[in-house]
Amino acid sequence: MTERPVIMVGFVAVAVDSLAEFQPEGSLIVIDEPDVVRKRDLAAKTGEAAVVRELIPWEYRLEGAADAFYNAHPDLDPAAVAPLQEYATPFAARLAERYGLPTGGYGALRVLRDKAMLRRVSRAAGILNPEFAEVEGPDEVRAFMAGHPGPVVLKPANRQAALGTRVLDSADEIDEAWAETTAMDEGVMETDRGFELQMLVERCVQGPEFSVELLVERGRVLFGNVTGKDLYPGGRPIELGHLVPADIPADLDALLRAETERVLKAVGFGTGVVHCEWIVEDGRPYLVECAGRFPGDGIVDLIDRAYGTDLVRAYWALMKDEPLPAPLPERATGAAAVRFLHAGSGVVESVTGVEEALALPGVALCSVTVEPGAEVGELRSSWDRIGSAVTEAATGAEALATAVRALDTVDVKIRPAQG
C-alpha cells in the first residue's frame, strides 16, 4: 500500500462517509477508546467502510497517550491526524506534533479543551468573559450566587454536548442541580473509568447566541462563517436550531470574527478548524467556549449548502499540507438552517409525517431517529433530541420558517413510561 493513511481520532460515521468521497480505499485509520469501541460496536461499523484501513483501540484520553501511541507506532507515517470529537482534540494535536504534521498545537488545544483554563487565558488577553469561579460543591455555588445577583450557569468545565449544564435562577435549585449535573454520563460515548469532573459556576450572560467557524492555516484565517443559534426554552441551554449564515448586521458579523481571531491568538492556535461560541449582551460579545474541531449539529453541512463549498475536503487538504482543492468563498450565496426535535419523555407510540415534511419545498433532509417502542428521556443534553430538519433558501428567514414548518409536519406520539 503506497497511500499514506490519515488518522481520525474519535469515530464519527458521517465523517467516515465524507472521507470516502475523496480518500482512496484502505487509507483511513480510526483511533477510539477501547470501552467506546466495545460499547458502540465500532469493529463492525468500521469494517463496513471500504475507506477504513484499521481500527486501533487506544486510551487516548489519558495523559501521555499520544506519546505512547507514537512510540508504539513510530513507522505509521500518516499524512494527517485530525480529531473528530471534543475529547480527542489534545491527543490528536500532540500526535500530529510527534509525526511532524500540521496541527492547532497541543498547548492551544489543552487550553481550548478546559473551559476554566480558557477563561483565564482569554481574559488575560482582554477578551470579555462572564464572571466565574471553579467550584467543588454546592456551598461554593451558593457563595458565588450571593456575590453575583441574577441567574448563574452551573456547568462542567471538561464535558461536551451541553451535558450537565444548568441555568439557576435561585439558590434553592443548587443542591438538586449539583446532584444531577455531577451524576450525568454519556452512555456508550463514555469510558468505564469515567471522568474526573471539573465544575464551573458563572454569571448567566443574557443575549442572542452565535458561533464562529474558522478554517486557519498557521494562524491565518482562510475561511470564516458566523452561525446563528436558537436554544430550547428552560434551564438547560441546549440547541434548538442553527442558521447559516447568521442574519445579523455586517458590523456584528465582523466583530464576532475578529474576537474569535483574538481567542486563537491568545491560545496560540496554529492550523485546523475552530468552533467558537459567543453571547452578545448589550452589543458586546462574551466568550462562551471555543473548540479546536469541527462543529457538531450539522453546522458543517449547513456551511457547505449556504456557501457552495466542501469544508471537510478543504480541511483535510490543509491538515495534509496539500494545496486546497478549490478556492474558498468569502460570502454565502444563500442560507441553510437546521431545527431539532424533542417530543417529551416516555415511550414512542408512532412516528408520522416525515415523508410529507421531506416533500415540502426547500426541505433537504428530515429524519426521526426513534421508532415505536423506544423510550425517550427528558431533554438534558444534545444527545436527547430525536430528529431534525435541514432546509435551504435564498434568505435566512425563509430557511428558518421552512425548518419550523417541516418539524410541525412530523408527529411523534409519546405515552408515559411505566414506573
Length of the chain: 419
Q: Where are the domains of the chain?
A: 6-101, 131-203, 208-333, 335-419
pLDDT band at 162 (very low <50, low <70, confident <90, very high): low
pTM for this entry: 0.92
Fold category of 208-333 in CATH: D-amino Acid Aminotransferase; Chain A, domain 1 (3.30.470)
pLDDT digits (tens, 9 = 90+) for 219-244: 999 999 999 999 998 778 889 999 99
The CB-side HSE value for 168 (13 A sphere, CA atoms) comes to 29
The 3-state DSSP class for residue 97 equals helix
pLDDT at res. 197:
77
**365/388 Cα distance (integer angstroms):** 8
- Tell me the helices (H) and strands (E) count for the chain, helix number first: 14, 19
Does position 129 have pLDDT exceeding 70, yes or no?
A: yes
Q: What percent of the chain has pLDDT over 70?
A: 95
From the number of C-beta atoms within 10 Å of its C-beta (0-12, 13-18, 19+), residue 44 rates as exposed
Q: What number does CATH give the domain 131-203? A: 3.30.1490.20
pLDDT at residue 26, as a whole number = 95
Residue-wise pLDDT for 18-43, tens only, equals 999 999 999 999 999 999 999 999 99
DSSP assignment of 162-210: TTT-EEESSGGGHHHHHHHHHH---GGGS-TT-----EEEEE---S-EE
pLDDT at 268: 97
**If pLDDT is split at 50, 70 and 90, which confidence band does 1 have?**
very low
Write down the CATH superfamily of domain 335-419: ATP-grasp fold, B domain (3.30.470.20)
pLDDT at 16 over 90: yes
Pick the CATH number of 6-101 from 3.40.50, 2.60.120, 3.20.20, 3.10.350: 3.40.50
pLDDT at position 193 is 63
Q: Is 299 helix (H, G, I), strand (E, B) or coil?
A: helix
Mean pLDDT of the chain: 92
Domains 6-101 and 208-333 fall in the same CATH topology: no
| CA dihedral of residues 55, 60, 66, 70 (deg, nearest 10) | -30
Paired with 274 in beta bridges are 214
Taking residue 149's Cβ as centre, other Cβ atoms within 10 Å add up to: 8
At 300-328, the pLDDT tens digits run: 999 999 999 999 999 999 999 999 999 99
- Residue with the bigger pLDDT between 386 and 253: it is 253
Confidence (pLDDT) at 334: 97
**Tell me, what's the pLDDT at 419?**
58
Does residue 213 have a pLDDT over 90? yes
Query: Quick check: 59 pLDDT over 90?
Result: yes
The Cα–Cα gap between 129 and 140 comes to 20
Beta strands in 41-129 (DSSP E): 52-57, 80-83
Split at pLDDT 50, 70, 90, the class of 68 is very high
Q: What is the pLDDT, as a whole number, of residue 178? A: 87
Position 195, amino acid: F
Q: Is the pLDDT of residue 70 over 80?
A: yes
DSSP code, position 107 = H
pLDDT of residue 302: 98
At 155 the pLDDT is 86
